[in-house]
Amino acid sequence: MKVRIWICLLLIFTMSCGTGEEVSEIPIEQSSPTVLPDPAVTTISAPDPAAAARAYLDAWAISDYAAMYAMLTTLSQDAFSFDDFEARYSHVAAQTNLFQVEYDILQSLISNPESAQVGYRVTLHSSIVGAITRETMMNLSRGQSDDWRVVWDDRLILPELAGGNTLSMEREVPSRGNIYDREGNAIAGNTDIVTVAVIPSEIGEDDGNGLVGQFTTLTGLDSHYISRMVFDEDAPYLLPISEVSQDQFNRRLDYLSPYYGMLSWREYSGRLYFNGGTAPQTTGWVGPIPVEAVDEYISQGYQIDDNVGRDGVEAWAESMLSGTRGGTLYVVSPQGSIVTTIASSDPEAAQSVYLTLDKDLQQQAQLAIDSFNGAIVVLERDTGRVLAMVSSPGFNPNAADTSNINHDYLWSDYVADTTNRPFFNRATMGQYPPGSIFKVITTAAALESGLYTAQSELYCGYYWEKVGVELEDWTVSHERPESGQLNLLEGVMRSCNIWFYEIGYVLYNEGYPNAVTEMARGFGLGSESGIDIIPEASGQVTEPDEDPQLGLFPAVQQAFGQGTTTVTPLQVAAYISAVGNGGTLYQPQLIEYVESTDGRISMAFEPSVNGTLPISDETLASLQTALRMVVNDARGTAFRRFSGFPIPVAGKTGTADVEGYEFPFAWFIGYTLAERPNQPDIAIAVIVENVGDGSDYAAPIFRRVAEIYFYDRPQVRYWWESSIGIVAPPEEEEIEGEDTGTP
């Protein structure tokens, strides 16, 4: 490398460069004046050291430690392995809960051809103690490739770290906020916990009923539910029962003493989900930070071993439920003594979340369907509040805590169960063919087209053959008589397939090929409802192809709820609510309000409207009449299921064939018309997977949920129960004489 140095060129004077010897005077041509360099300035031709510093600091800003390490001098790399180097920076990031690095270059200086210094101001943004700003210096050395290399030492991070000092954050973490139902009943909270299990083989003949009674009082769980667990022939050696607060357990300790030899329990502190979990797929659970998200959470003030909301409301409200962490950041010497304090901050208390859920309704609705895979959604008909959201099977969120003795028995089983998928929220994510519950929408499209009226008639026989394929009515497979001559509303009441094949065929051929699709979208299908807090699927509503060879048969399939159409239980609960409330599609909502410790409300429920059903008042009235006939008319597909039920109900049965399943999926959707001044009417959607007809399975579950809502407990046993809560072998005669079943 050629370095040009201009030294003492004032040769017109009597001194040569640094020798003290006299020289002859050299004449200068006056016509060509020359500007000579300042003898005090030394110019070195080299890359800009500030650029090298920027590259290093930019890499730090994105935590690219490998790139930073590659910029070090050979001597620095010899002194520090990459693992040590990365660990140094990672420790600083973890202790400060670093989420951003900013810098400003203040000055740079090349002191000689082989070394340079860059002064800079660095700001470390800590999510705990705020911004930490310091001025420091970076030394650089020329490498063999003629570029600048960083001479590493601790002061490159902060001046206080010179000499091997480290940072240590003493954190103050507020207690996690609670989750309540709309009435203030606790769903989740941090407390001292006792987890209780039973050893079934140790239960004597005379002990069973007493033990079940004590467990019922202790846990608040249904006695039939506990009995089924305890007396199950396949129960494990150690059977998890539930988790309760330390206070609950202590109050019942004397009553449990006769059964000590049959029990096992362990005390620990953590997050308690009362009664074994209320709407677990909706409420969510708390667990370790996922490996892939550690850096993100650390940048928000967490530590690597913290627990965080992992699903549902727990995850959505993490920032509110966790509060704001405070702490003091110290500089610690290599010997472990505190050198100085860098910064500190105070914690801010967590907020509590109140859900729109009715805890008792939710708990009993979970039991109402717990023998099946399926879902239940209960909405306040005239506001969009979610009062219950059940996905079955569920899971016990307490089992997520490794301190819980039930963790080993339960959690791995949940994770491994890819068949029943207990974590999957069927209420919002399950996308099912609607079957005959879709006929409400097809009826609306038919009436709005002007091609039909409520009194239009059709003979409902066994078969229909207008598309080159013989399609049948549900009465064929059920060996029932033909339904005969029916007007359109009676077609809904009887769920006559023939009527809806015909509507799909006629609308397509008469210039309304997309009438059913557009009506479905107007009812909120094919798009998310906007519940936001938990994941939600959009379902699918497709337009039939314009080519009759391709689109006519799909149009016929769509008209009776099969083919490519899929819906979620939440969507159909919202649309049947709209039919019942006069046409308003409310956005389903789960949050009643969020409250701080000092009583401030930061978020409160307000009804939110997604739209209005795209139908006339006359069409709406016709739909409401037809849905009342389904339940009230002796020929209605749900008449017997609601016989003697004092609460007025309107609804629709549905039975959907699903490829790959032996039996159909059963639907019942509807709403109540009690019009009580202090008890709002509700809308309910029920789906039961792989069981049979909607009238046989979903309608009884719908009725039980309505009984719980209006009367606080079930009133009538299911036909498959020997008594309420006790499953018995189904009695065929209970179904044989019934005018039931829908396609």
Which two three-digit tokens encode residue 5? 């140095």
Q: How confident is the model at residue 739 (pLDDT cuts 50, 70, 90)?
A: very low
Give kind and range of the element (H or E) at residue 148.
strand 148-151
For CATH 3.90.1310.10, list the domain ranges present in the chain: 182-277
Average pLDDT over the chain, rounded to whole?
91
Q: According to the CATH classification, is domain 182-277 in 3.40.50.720? A: no
Of the two residues 42 and 161, the one the predictor is more confident about is 161
DSSP 8-state symbol, 676: B
Residue 112 pLDDT greater than 90, yes or no: no
CB 281 within 8 A of CB 423: yes
Q: How confident is the model at residue 730 (pLDDT cuts 50, 70, 90)?
A: low
Helix (H, G, I), strand (E, B) or coil at 632: helix
pLDDT for 43: 53
Q: How confident is the model at residue 239 (pLDDT cuts 50, 70, 90)?
A: confident
Q: Is the dihedral of CA 390, 392, 397, 398 positive or negative?
A: positive
Residue 310 pLDDT greater than 50, yes or no: yes
Amino acid at 148: W
Of the two residues 299 and 120, the one the predictor is more confident about is 120
pLDDT tens string 199-227: 998 888 888 889 999 999 999 888 888 88
CB 687 within 8 A of CB 426: yes
Q: Is the dihedral of CA 607, 608, 610, 614 positive or negative?
A: positive
Beta strand 609-612 with 584-586 is antiparallel
What average pLDDT does this structure show over 22-35?
40
What average pLDDT does this structure show over 644-672?
97
Of the two residues 701 and 37, the one the predictor is more confident about is 701
pLDDT for 733: 41
Which two three-digit tokens encode residue 97? 């809960």
> Could you write out the DSSP letters of every residue in 529-557?
----SS-----B--PPPSSHHHHHHHHHH
Of the two residues 412 and 21, the one the predictor is more confident about is 412
CB 107 within 8 A of CB 50: no
Residue 1 pLDDT greater than 80, yes or no: no
Q: Is the dihedral of CA 297, 300, 301, 307 positive or negative?
A: negative
Would residue 675 be called left, alpha or beta, if left means φ above 0 and alpha means ψ between -120 and 50 degrees? left
pLDDT tens string 152-179: 999 999 999 999 999 999 999 999 999 9
Of the two residues 236 and 48, the one the predictor is more confident about is 48
Nearest-CA neighbor of 231 among 198, 257, 253?
Answer: 198
pLDDT tens string 571-582: 999 999 999 999
Residue 4 pLDDT greater than 60, yes or no: no
Amino acid at 640: R
Of the two residues 432 and 742, the one the predictor is more confident about is 432
CA dist 611 and 489 (Å) reads 25
CA dist 508 and 487 (Å) reads 21
Return the bridge partners of 679, or none. 676
The domain covering 49-172 belongs, at the CATH homologous superfamily level, to NTF2-like; domain 1 (3.10.450.100)
CB 133 within 8 A of CB 342: no
> Could you write out the DSSP letters of every residue in 60-115?
HHTT-HHHHHHTB-HHHHHHS-HHHHHHHHHHHHHHHTEEEEEEEEEEEEEEETTE
pTM summary value: 0.86
pLDDT tens string 414-455: 999 999 999 999 999 999 999 999 999 999 999 999 999 999
Buried b (16+ CB within 10 A) or exposed e, 638-659: bbbbbeebebebbbbbbbbeee
Q: How confident is the model at residue 736 (pLDDT cuts 50, 70, 90)?
A: very low
| Phi then psi dihedrals of residue 113, to 5 deg | -60, -15
Q: Name residues whose C-beta falls within 8 Å of residue 610's C-beta, 6 or more positions apart in sequence.
A: 524, 529, 530, 574, 585, 586, 587
Percent residues over pLDDT 70 in the chain: 92
For CATH 3.10.450.100, list the domain ranges present in the chain: 49-172
